[in-house]
Amino acid sequence: MTGTPDGTVGPEPQAGAQTGGAEDASAWESMLENDGAASAGGSERILNQDEIDSLLGFDAGVEDQSERTGVRAIINSALVSYERLPMLEIVFDRLVRLMTTSLRNFTSDNVEVSLDNISSIRFGDYLNSIPLPAILAVFRAEELDNFGLLTVDSNLIYSIVDVLLGGRRGTAAMRVEGRPYTTIERSLVQRMIEVVLSDMQIAFEPLSALHFNLDRLEINPRFAAIARPANAAVLVKLRIDMEDRGGRLELLLPYATLEPIRELLLQMFMGEKFGRDSIWEGHLATELWRTNVEIDAVLDEQKMTLKEVMAFKPGQTLMLNATPEARIEMRCGGVPLLRGRMGRIGHQVAVRVEDIIRRRVPTE
């Protein structure tokens, strides 16, 4: 019999129970030691939501896409920045000035066009970010053999319709939600888009002669897919203000469309032609006249098969078709220059020039 702390008397524990209790105690003790070692090695820290957003790069306070950090910056690192194409910004600045004049003539109103920003974006992300309802114009660049996208938001659509149909100034354009655009609205917007495309041709003309033709108008962004969702594109956001009315116009050009004229867009300024340096030109001409060149005198040429060449043996005599009176050809770097006859002056072999070989310049 054994006693307990409360004074009661209980039966004696069996041998098997004692052994099991000792094993449980040792296991519990080792578990406590492991937990103590883990806590001594380092303390765990739980991140809050702001720290997680900063780590992943989804900080809502950062509006500029170029300032993304974290994992999102690594994902978007494959995008090509438009800043690597410096001539592109000059072209769009020229487009803004042209549109300001042409839209004033088109609407007979005071129109101000401003360039908000130029950015790089994935095509799929842009389609998902288009605020509906809107009209999407797919146009084709004939010389580039590819397409571009022009998006007109609902505010600009109703403003253009109101201005062209004689709406009174000082009153905002009335918007009717939940209905498709009528034929008249689509026709008026199409005329404005054709004016913008015409200005784009003039803006690109100093760089390359391009023709932009309107292909179709779409309402659903899924029907305006002109590139793969993961493809990179240049997004240009324009703001059009007509006194108290206006809206946004967005121009999207995939990098695949701009690839044929990429070399031109890499220029730092229009033309990329530097002024002449007469001092350097004179020095270069003087050094060229002093350059030493090697001239080869070719006695004869024969065409042989590889089998005949591999059959050559030491002491074998090769018969040439040239005679002592035959004219030989002198070449520089493989280019024929002169013809003459071979002779001897003293102990040296000489060639007397008799003819100059005129090179034919290919004409287009």
The domain spans of the chain are 82-265, 295-356
In this structure, the number of other CB atoms found within 10 A of the CB of residue 309 comes to 8
Rounded to an integer, what distance in angstroms lies between the CA atom of residue 140 and that of residue 149? Answer: 9
Instruction: State yes or no: pLDDT of 249 exceeds 70.
Output: yes
* Range list of H helices, the chain: 15-41, 49-56, 70-75, 86-107, 123-129, 154-164, 183-204, 255-258, 262-265, 278-289, 306-310
| List of residues 6+ apart from 128 with CB closer than 8 A | 221
Instruction: State yes or no: pLDDT of 255 exceeds 50.
Output: yes
Instruction: State yes or no: pLDDT of 42 exceeds 90.
Output: no
| List of residues 6+ apart from 238 with CB closer than 8 A | 96, 99, 113, 114, 115, 116, 248, 249, 250, 251
**Parallel, antiparallel or unpaired: strands 296-298 and 327-332:** antiparallel
Winning range, highest mean pLDDT, from 33-47, 77-91, 202-216? 202-216
Instruction: State yes or no: pLDDT of 226 exceeds 70.
Output: yes
Residue 359 vs residues 305, 336, 351: alpha-carbon distances, Å: 30, 8, 21
Question: Which of 3.40.50.970, 3.40.1550.10, 3.40.50.300, 3.20.20.80 is the CATH number of 82-265?
Answer: 3.40.1550.10
Provide the edge-to-edge strand list for the sheet that holds 296-298.
296-298, 327-332, 335-345, 348-356
Rounded to an integer, what distance in angstroms lies between the CA atom of residue 275 and that of residue 279? Answer: 12
DSSP character at residue 312: -
Rounded to an integer, what distance in angstroms lies between the CA atom of residue 93 and that of residue 114? Answer: 9
The first and second tokens of residue 323, run together, are 């005679």
Instruction: State yes or no: pLDDT of 251 exceeds 80.
Output: yes
CATH 3.40.1160.10 at 295-356, yes or no:
no
Residue pair 79/92 in contact (Cβ under 8 Å)? The answer is no
Share of the chain above pLDDT 70, in %: 74
pLDDT of residue 70: 61
- If you average pLDDT over residues 184-203, what whole number do you get? 92
How buried is 343 (Cβ within 10 angstroms: 0-12 exposed, 13-18 middle, 19+ buried)?
Answer: exposed
Rounded to an integer, what distance in angstroms lies between the CA atom of residue 358 and that of residue 336? Answer: 9
